[in-house]
Structure 1
Amino acid sequence: MLLSFAVFLLLLLLGMPVVFAIGIGGLVFFLTQPGLQLTMPVQLALAETQNFSLLAIPTFILASNLMNELGVTRRLLRFAHVVTGFMRGGLAQASVLLGFLMGGVSGSAIADATMQARLLGPEMVRRGYSRGFIAALQGFSGLLAVAIPPSIGLILYGSIGQVSIGQLFAGGIGVGVLLAAVYMLTVALLARSRGYLPETAPPTAKEVGAALREGFFAVLFPFLLLAALRFGVFVPSEVGAAAVVYALLVGLIYRELSLERVNRALAHSVRDVGMVALLIAMAAVLGYGMKWEMFPQQVSAFLLEAVQNPQVALLLILLALLVLGTVLDSTVMIILLTPILVPAAKALGIDLVYFGVLMVMTCAVGLLTPPVGLSMYSVCSVMGCGIGEYVREGWPFLAATLLVLLLVYLFPGVVLFLPRLLFGGGV
C-alpha cells in the first residue's frame, strides 16, 4: 500500500491530473498482490458508480445548473442588494449575502465564486474596490455553498460514510449562518477602515417585500429540501430528482424556461457529473487497497492509543486536513479520506454529523489557498488580478474562516442544534 501512495504522490508532483494519479496508484496495488485478479479494478470502478445512494449527486447538480440558467441568480442579487445596500460597502455585503443564498441553489463553491465574480466584479471595480479585494471576497463568499444545502461535499461524505444526508444538510445551515455573519462583520470593518460608503438609502418594508417576492422560490429551495427529507416525503436519491422538477417549475413561473437554457444546463451538468463520477470510480480502486490492508482500522487504533482525548484527536485530524488541502482538491480529499476517517471518528465517539460538517468545511479551505486553490485561481482569472494581490487582500477572510472553524470545533451545538431539533439527534 505504501508503494501505491508513493506512486500517487509522485504522479501528482509530476503534474498528472489527480484522477489518473489516483487510478494508477490503485492499479499498482493490484499489480503487487498476486492473489488479486487484474479484472477487479474495472469491476470496482464500475460498481462504485452504480451506488444508488450517489444518485443524489447528478440530480442535484442538474437542479442547481437549471436554477442558475433560469433567472434565479439575478433575482437573488436584487434581493441581496436591497437588504444590504444601505450598509458601508453595500455591494461587498451583498456579495456575502448572495453567496449564502446561492449556496442553497448551486451546492458548489467554485461555481458560486466564479459566477459572483463575473456578475458583481465589473460594477465593484467601477465603485472603487480593488481587484484583489473583489477576488478574495467572491472566493470566500463562494465557500458558503459548502455548508448550505444542497452541498455536494456533504452529499459525498454522507453517501460514502453512510451518514444521514438530511442531518448533514441541517447541520450545515448553522455553520453557514455563522460564517456569513462573520464575513459580513469582516466586510463592515474593512469598509469602515477604507472609507467605503453606503450605496443606497435604508430600504422600506415594501421594497424588501417586493425583492423577496421576486426571489422567493429560490430562497425557499433549501428549506423545502430539509422538509422533504425530515418528513420522509423523499429519500436523498429521490429529493434530487424532485429538485430538478422544482427548478423547471421555477423557470416556468419566471417565464425564462427555454430549450436553449435547458440545453446549457444539461451541458454544464454532464461536465460536472463526469468529473465527480470519474473521481469516485478511481477512488474505489485505491480505496479497496486501503480496506485490504485494513488501513482505516489501523488509523483508528493509532488515534485511540496515541491520543486518548477525542477532542485532541479531532483537532489533529482537522490540522492535517488543512495542510492536505493546500495540495489536494477538497472533492478528492472527501472521497479518499471519508472511508478512513469515519471509522476513526466513530471509534473515538465523535458524532458523525458534527464530524462530517467540520471535515467538509475544513477540506474546502484549500480551495482558497495557494498553491492549488481552484476557487482562488478561478476568481483571480475572472478579475484579472495576481495571486500576490489576492493573498494580501484575502488574509482577513481566511482569518475569519479559521475563527468560525475554531468556534464550531469548540461548540458542537452550532452544527447539532438543527439536526437534533428536526431529526431527534446526530448519528
Structure 2
Amino acid sequence: MLLFIGIAFVALLILGLPIGMILLALSVLYVLFEPAIMDLAFAQRVITGTQSFPLLAVPLFILTGELMNISGITRRVMDFAALVTRRMSGGLAQANILLSTLLAGMSGSANGDAAMQSKILVPEMTRRGYPISYSAALTASSALIAPMIPPGIGLILFGFVTDTSIGRLFAGAIVPGLLLAAVMMVQTHFIARRHHWDPPVTEPPAKPLGPAFIGALPAILLPILIIVGIRMGIFTPSEAAAVAVLYTAVFILIYREASLPQIGAALRSTLTTTSAIILVLAASAAFSWMLTFERVPQTIGEAMLAASDDPRIMLVLISAIIFVAGIFIEGTALILILGPMFLPVTNGLGIDPVQYGIVFVLMAHLGGITPPVGTVMFTVCTITRVSIPNFARAVWPYVLSYLFVAALLIMLPFLSTWLAHL
C-alpha cells in the first residue's frame, strides 16, 4: 500500500496538483483500504492538526505584511535602502537585498516580499541596465531572507510541529538571516562590477540619510519589539502577532496613504493565503499520522543513524534530502511533514533543536527558487514575464550562496544558537 501511495504521490506532483489536495486525497485513500484505522479517528486528526493557539500568529503576521505594503512604510524603507547602497557597485541590486532584509521583520513571507519587489524594483533595475532575468532572479533570491528573519512563517510552523520554542527560533534566526543578506550583497558586488552594472554614485544625495532612516525606523524596530517582547515574557508569539498588526495599523493612521479598498484587498489576500496554509497543515497532519502508523519515521531514523553518528554529517544528509525534495514539494509542506520526521534523529545525536530548525527552514525555502515547482520563482516570473529557463540560468549563483550559508550554519552551530540561549 505504501508503495502505491508513493507512486501516486510522485505522479500527482508531476501533474501539478496542489500539494495540500495530494496529501489529503492519499490519506483518505489509505484510510479506506486500511481496516485498522477508524474513519472518525482520521477525521479528528485532520481537525486537531489545525487546532493550536500558536497558529493564530500565522494569519496575523501575514496581515501585518499586507498592511505594511499599503501603509507607506515600504516606500520609506525603499528610499532608505537606496540611499545606503548608492555608493556601492550595483547600488539598486544591493538596495533590493537590503529592502528584503529590512522588510522581513514585517512580512515574514517570501512570496509576498517577492511579489512586492517584482512590481516596484524590477522595472527600475531594467531601466538602469540590469538584464531582466538577473533582476528577477535577484528579487526571488532576496525574498527568501524574509522567512529567516522574525517573524518568519516557516519558523512558526516548524516550532508548532516539532514543539520547539518559537521565541528561541526567532532569536536564533536573526544572525543567519543577516549573514545570508551579507553573503548575497558581497556576491552582488562582484557580479555588478564584473558586468559594469549600475556603478557607484558619487554625487551628494538629494535627500539626507537621517530623515530617510527615521522613515524606515518602524520596519527596523518591529522585529526587535517582537523578539524582546517574547523573550521577556511580555507576550506569546500569537500575542506578538496581534501587537504587530496594531503596530502597523497605527502607521496606517499616521501616514494616511492607505484607502479602504486597499485595506479590504489586504484582508482578502490574508484570508486566501491563510486558507492555503491551513489546508496544507490539515492534510500534512493526516499524512504524517498515516506515515507514523506505518512506522515510516522510525524506519528512516534507524537507517539514518546507522549511516552516521556524526551530528554535522547528519545535518548535511538531512539538508541534501530537503534540497532534493524541495525541487518538487513546496516549503511549507516540507516543514510540516519532514520536520517532525527527522526530529528523533537529531535529538538522538544531541543536535540543538534551534540549529536543526533554522537549517531546515533555510533549506526548505530554497526550493522556492528552484525549477520546476518553485513558488517564489513562479510568482516573480509571472509578474516580470521572464521565462523559467532564463530565470534558472540567472539564479544559480544565489543558490550556491544559500548552500554556502547552510554549510556555515551546520559547521558553526553557535551562529544559530547563541542568541537563542541568551
Q: Report the TM range for the smaller structure's normalisation.
A: over 0.9
* Aligned mates of 1:164, 1:242 — CA distance in 2: 19
Structure 2 match to 1:392: 393
* Aligned mates of 1:170, 1:164 — CA distance in 2: 10
Query: What is the Cα deviation at residue 22 of structure 1?
Result: 0.4
* Aligned mates of 2:357, 2:146 — CA distance in 1: 15
* Aligned mates of 2:114, 2:334 — CA distance in 1: 20
Q: Does the CA contact (< 8 Å) of 2:88 and 2:200 recur in 1?
A: yes
Residue correspondence of structure 1 range 73-152 to structure 2 within 5 A: 73-152=74-153
State the secondary structure of the residue aligned to 1:419. coil
Deviations 1:370-392 (A, max 9, x none): 11111112212222222222222
Q: Does the CA contact (< 8 Å) of 2:109 and 2:152 recur in 1?
A: yes
Range 132-141 or range 46-55, more displaced:
46-55
Range 72-81 or range 411-420, more displaced:
411-420
The aligned amino acid for 2:392 is V
The aligned amino acid for 1:267 is R
Query: What is the Cα deviation at residue 199 of structure 1?
Result: 5.4
Structure 2 match to 1:225: 226
Deviations 1:313-356 (A, max 9, x none): 22111111111111111111111112211222112211000000
Query: What is the Cα deviation at residue 294 of structure 1?
Result: 3.0
The aligned amino acid for 1:186 is Q
State the secondary structure of the residue aligned to 1:420. coil
Q: Does the CA contact (< 8 Å) of 1:131 and 1:384 recur in 2?
A: no
Deviations 1:250-276 (A, max 9, x none): 212222354323212111100010000
State the secondary structure of the residue aligned to 2:164. coil
Residue correspondence of structure 1 range 346-357 to structure 2 within 5 A: 346-357=347-358
Q: Does the CA contact (< 8 Å) of 2:172 and 2:417 recur in 1?
A: yes
Query: What is the Cα deviation at residue 217 of structure 1?
Result: 0.9
* Aligned mates of 1:389, 1:324 — CA distance in 2: 22
Structure 2 match to 1:274: 275
Structure 2 segments unaligned to the other structure (5+ residues): none
2:167 matches 1:166: yes
Q: 1:203 to 1:320 in 2, by over 3 A?
A: farther
Structure 2 match to 1:254: 255
Range 408-417 or range 359-368, more displaced:
408-417
The aligned amino acid for 1:276 is I
Residue correspondence of structure 1 range 194-343 to structure 2 within 5 A: 194-198=195-199, 200-201=201-202, 207-343=208-344
The aligned amino acid for 2:238 is S
Q: Does the CA contact (< 8 Å) of 1:5 and 1:25 recur in 2?
A: no
Structure 2 match to 1:425: none
* Aligned mates of 1:202, 1:91 — CA distance in 2: 16
Query: What is the Cα deviation at residue 140 of structure 1?
Result: 0.5
* Aligned mates of 1:179, 1:225 — CA distance in 2: 21
Q: 1:203 to 1:409 in 2, by over 3 A?
A: farther
Query: What is the Cα deviation at residue 32 of structure 1?
Result: 2.4
* Aligned mates of 1:188, 1:222 — CA distance in 2: 27
The alignment covers a number of residue pairs equal to 421
Deviations 1:124-150 (A, max 9, x none): 111111011101110101010121111
% of aligned pairs identical? 39
* Aligned mates of 2:93, 2:384 — CA distance in 1: 15
* Aligned mates of 1:217, 1:301 — CA distance in 2: 48
State the secondary structure of the residue aligned to 1:408. helix
Q: Does the CA contact (< 8 Å) of 2:65 and 2:112 recur in 1?
A: no
Deviations 1:136-190 (A, max 9, x none): 1101010101211110111100011110111111111111111111111111101
Q: 1:203 to 1:314 in 2, by over 3 A?
A: farther
* Aligned mates of 1:254, 1:342 — CA distance in 2: 46
Query: What is the Cα deviation at residue 203 of structure 1?
Result: 6.2
Q: 1:388 to 1:11 in 2, by over 3 A?
A: closer
* Aligned mates of 1:63, 1:294 — CA distance in 2: 40
TM-score (norm 1): 0.94
Deviations 1:278-309 (A, max 9, x none): 11111111111122223323332222233222
The aligned amino acid for 2:223 is P
Deviations 1:369-427 (A, max 9, x none): 11111111221222222222222222221222211111111111111121123xxxxxx
The aligned amino acid for 2:232 is F
Q: Does the CA contact (< 8 Å) of 1:8 and 1:24 recur in 2?
A: no
The aligned amino acid for 1:237 is S
TM-score (norm 2): 0.95
Q: Does the CA contact (< 8 Å) of 2:73 and 2:215 recur in 1?
A: no
Q: Does the CA contact (< 8 Å) of 1:175 and 1:414 recur in 2?
A: yes
Structure 1 match to 2:420: 419
* Aligned mates of 2:3, 2:352 — CA distance in 1: 30
Structure 2 match to 1:38: 39
Range 370-379 or range 33-42, more displaced:
33-42
State the secondary structure of the residue aligned to 2:419. helix
Two-structure CA RMSD over aligned residues (Å): 1.8
The aligned amino acid for 1:47 is T
Q: Does the CA contact (< 8 Å) of 2:128 and 2:198 recur in 1?
A: no
Q: Does the CA contact (< 8 Å) of 2:193 and 2:199 recur in 1?
A: no
Structure 2 match to 1:380: 381
Structure 2 match to 1:70: 71
